[in-house]
Amino acid sequence: MIFTNGDSFTYGDELDKPHSEAWPYILAEKLNTKVANFGENNSDNERILQSTVDFFGTPDISMYKCAIVQWSTYMRFDTIPQDIVLNDNANTKEYLLDKYFVQVRIMQDFFDLRNIPYLMFNAFDNEKVIPNSISKFKDIIDTKYFIGWQDESVVNWVYGMPHKPKGHPGEEAHKRIAEIIYENIRRKLRIS
């Protein structure tokens, strides 16, 4: 099996049949396997990190070929401590971006310690700020298994393809996302 986690892009929001048309299910079909898709609408990176750690904290994870994690935007304001000056947009963005880099590294270390093959990528927004970031945490990311680091995301992969009314990728876009991830699984993880 494969494990996937992310936000509405991974869940398949706005698709008629998210449990068959979203990229995790298309990818599983390409790999001739099953998927445990933990994608959830409106997920922030804290939920993505914690639910992945909880899932792989169970004793028997040997049946999983790999984990694929789609990070949400770093700009989620729901987990900002009160000591961060919220009316100072620069401080808020810096705090959230630093937090994002640390979350990615924590998950990478978690997978590495458990010998779980993984791939990661961004959904949207992060690719706009990471290249110009001067965060001291930016360099802690291991880019080897991060698809498109630092300036790509799902929105770049499916730019110009049909989207749903609220902006989520359509059926053809999900097929394209699955194809890109599949090629990276074959090339980087050597799984087919």
At residue 95, the pLDDT reads 84
Q: What is the pLDDT of residue 63?
A: 81
pLDDT reported for residue 165: 96
Task: Report residues of the chain scoring pLDDT below 70.
Answer: 59, 76-89
Task: State residue 75's pLDDT score.
Answer: 81
- Alpha-carbon dihedral 190, 157, 7, 55, rounded to 10 degrees: 0
Predicted pLDDT of residue 82? 55
Strands (E), 30-91: 35-37, 66-71
Q: What is the pLDDT of residue 44?
A: 92
Q: What is the pLDDT of residue 80?
A: 58
pLDDT at 158 (0 to 100): 96
pLDDT for position 77: 57
Predicted local confidence at residue 79, as pLDDT: 57
- Give residue 19's pLDDT: 97
23-30 and 171-184 helices, crossing angle to 10°? 50
Amino acid found at 131: P
Residue 64 is predicted with a pLDDT of: 87
